[in-house]
Amino acid sequence: MKAHILHIGVVDKNDTVHAVTFSPGVNVITGRSSTGKSALIEIFDYCFGSSEFTVPVGVITDRASLYFTVLMLHDTAVVLARRPDTRTAFLKEELETERVKEARSLTSAYFEEKFFYSPYLFKKNLIRSFGVLVTDVDEDLSVREARFNKARSAPPSARSFTSFMLQHQNLVANKHAVFYRFDEREKREQAIDHLKVFLGFAKQEYFLLKQKLNELEQEERSLKRMAPKREALIDEAKRKVALARTEYEALSGLSLPVDLATMYASPAAARDRIEAMSVALSADTAGHVRRRRELEMEYSKTVALLREHATNLEGIESSIAFAIQYDQRKQAIPLPVKTDLHASACPFCATPTETVEHSANALSSAIEWLNTELLRSNSRLASFEEARARVRDEMLPVQKLAAAQEGELKRLNAELAKMGKLKSQYEMAVAAKGRLEEALLALAKAMSRKDESDLAQLRRNIAKLQADLKRKFDVQTKLAQAEERIAEILDDLGTRFDFEDSYKPIRLRFSVETFDLWHEPAKDKKVFLRSMGSGANWLSCHLALFLALHRYFCELGDKCAIPPILFLDQPSQVYFPALLDNDAEFNAIQDPSRTSAHKVDEDLRAVTNLFDQLVWYCEDTFKETGIRPQIIVTDHADKLTLANQVEFESLVRKRWRKPGEGFISAAPYGPALE
């Protein structure tokens, strides 16, 4: 998107405006130490919604009553402001941009109270100003259900833009950190997760489709898990229907008008018929007794089968115990550590004899056989354990059947005992009818569970959703293409900055999934920034990466919501780390860390090249994309001789070198500095 900062300023307690005005392209603010150069990046960050007030304590914080930033987004001015160390923030979209064209017009009267918002509303309105309307970024609703209070994931925030925009003095050449705010894991993850939104790859519809897709995929996994259990549930439900039907007929003495096959085929319809049926009784009540006798015989057969399994299991358990004991004894047998072999001879005539040798050979064969048998003991133990597991599996359904039959016998005996005592035969028949209706309802529910045909339809729906996501968004492909394009830009920019010879040709790579940056001198070999030496290498890596990212953002045009604005605070510190700049003119020779072996002009050439490349980058990006990025550099470096007839003075927006000059003058309150 086309965007740039127009003003960064302060309204002091005397209602005087102090501001710096910027334009697209390279903007330089230069000056002595402690004049407020680095305060610009902190004021912008604070006005952009930072929860921390980090403006350096001093003249500025002593005199400021309000901090403001004016952004130009296409043809609209967005005015942001904060009072010192407060939570509320000012936001106003100014369509009449002439009202804010001059910073001096932004006195305290402009900042009406009705445009001050709570942090939540401020951030919500700010991200909308950049055209981001996504509010629900959860892709899996089951994850949301597991969160405390079922909270949604944090929506995309303009605060994440600052990770791409701000390179503070302690970050611009840092080997351990590349992105601002990434020291906090949550903010790091949000910036990475929301990148696809900021680049225009994913809209709200994308997340809604992903939610539906994940819901269907979870249902598919559930069906696949339940498929083997479904038949078992149906069989158990049928058994209970048959049991309830037999019990009712035994109590009533009459056959039901619905046979068992019909009940199995259409349990819901059968239940409706049974429910509408009146309970009738036959004078013959011996059916209940006959049913008990039949059940007792069935139960006896089940118990006999169970005992047979138990006997087998006991034998196997005994064999396992013996095998374990045998193995323990075997391990306790001491083994000989050496043997002495002698030729045997007759003690009287000294004639050699082979009798002992034959015995030794026989003993050796016996030992070999025994070792073979001992080795087999472990395999036998394993086979016994397999047999035990098999018998236990076979016993389980028999145990369940025996328990069910025993339960039914107890119920039949109880009902027979109640006859003529507590309940009438009619009451028990009514209760049995109710149990039959419940059993039929349970069978209907078990049969209504989705089967293979439903699973096939589910898979067709999943395939359609996946196709829709790929056709409309294809996020993963676009992210992969973005990574490839950024790598191409990095290859070009890598040749333009100051890398040591040992890293040339530099081959920087960046992952859009992890935001890792590394040098890849050979395939499958990664040298991460933290493993590279020299501050010049670290600075060049930072510059190449952020310029590559913003070039790619500009190539996306209006699809990308991240503004092409980059702050570089004190990048020359790598070359002049100990410079104490208090003179009216920039003088690199003052650096006390210099030695005769380390020539100043070499580092001046590197710093000059840095500015040359920034100017080239902005113009080349504008030529290729129609968008001119904005790079704001706050630095000591001044009056450099640039290439291509570019005057350094044309880049300078403020120079604070004379006594009393600064972002807010150290002199008593007066008119705004221009």
- Whether the pLDDT of residue 127 is over 90: the answer is yes
- CA dist 226 and 322 (Å) reads 41
pLDDT of residue 450: 61
pTM of the model: 0.70
Q: What is the pLDDT of residue 415?
A: 67
| Stretch 112-132: mean pLDDT | 96
Give the integer Cα–Cα distance in Å for 132 and 560.
Answer: 10
Q: Which helix (H) or strand (E) holds 454?
A: helix 452-472
CB 610 within 8 A of CB 568: no
Tell which residue, 40, 5, 46, has the closest CA to residue 168. Answer: 40
Residue 17: CB atoms within 10 A of its CB come to: 22
**pLDDT attached to residue 599:** 62
Rounded CA-CA distance 487/548 in Å is 8
Share of the chain above pLDDT 90, in %: 52
Give residue-wise pLDDT tens across range 611-652: 999 999 999 999 999 999 999 999 999 999 999 999 999 999
64 pLDDT more than 70: yes
7 against 669, higher pLDDT: 7
Residue 369 pLDDT exceeds 70: no
Beta strands (DSSP E) in 419-524 are 508-510, 517-522
State pLDDT tens for residues 450-476. Answer: 666 678 888 999 999 999 999 999 999
**DSSP classification of residue 623:** H
**pLDDT confidence of residue 375:** 54
Coil, strand or helix: which one is 21? strand
In one letter, which amino acid is 230?
A: R
Find all residues with CB under 8 Å of 484, minimum gap 6, and list them.
none
Three-state DSSP string of 232-249: HHHHHHHHHHHHHHHHHH
**Per-residue H/E/C for 342-406:** CCCECCCCCCECCHHHHHHHHHHHHHHHHHHHHHHHHHHHHHHHHHHHHHHHHHHHHHHHHHHHH
Count the neighbouring beta carbons within 10 Å of the beta carbon of residue 120.
8
d(CA 165, CA 198): 14
Residue 139 pLDDT greater than 80, yes or no: yes
Grade residue 591 by pLDDT with cuts at 50, 70 and 90.
low
**Cα→Cα distances 520→252, 503, 506, 508, 649, Å:** 86, 10, 8, 6, 38
Beta strands in 22-97 (DSSP E): 25-31, 64-73, 76-82, 89-94
Does residue 598 carry a pLDDT above 50? yes
Positive or negative, the Cα torsion across 663, 666, 672, 673? Answer: negative
Give the Å distances, CA to CA, from 447 to 216, 236, 270, 440, 443.
21, 11, 14, 11, 6
For residue 172, the one-letter residue type is V
Strand-pair partners of 70:
7, 79
pLDDT tens track for 204-245: 999 999 999 999 999 888 877 776 677 778 888 888 888 888
pLDDT tens-digit map of 145-204:
888 888 999 999 999 999 999 999 999 999 999 999 999 999 999 999 999 999 999 999
The residue ranking higher by pLDDT, 350 or 112, is 112
pLDDT of residue 187: 94
Please give the average per-residue pLDDT across 88-117, as a whole number.
Answer: 95
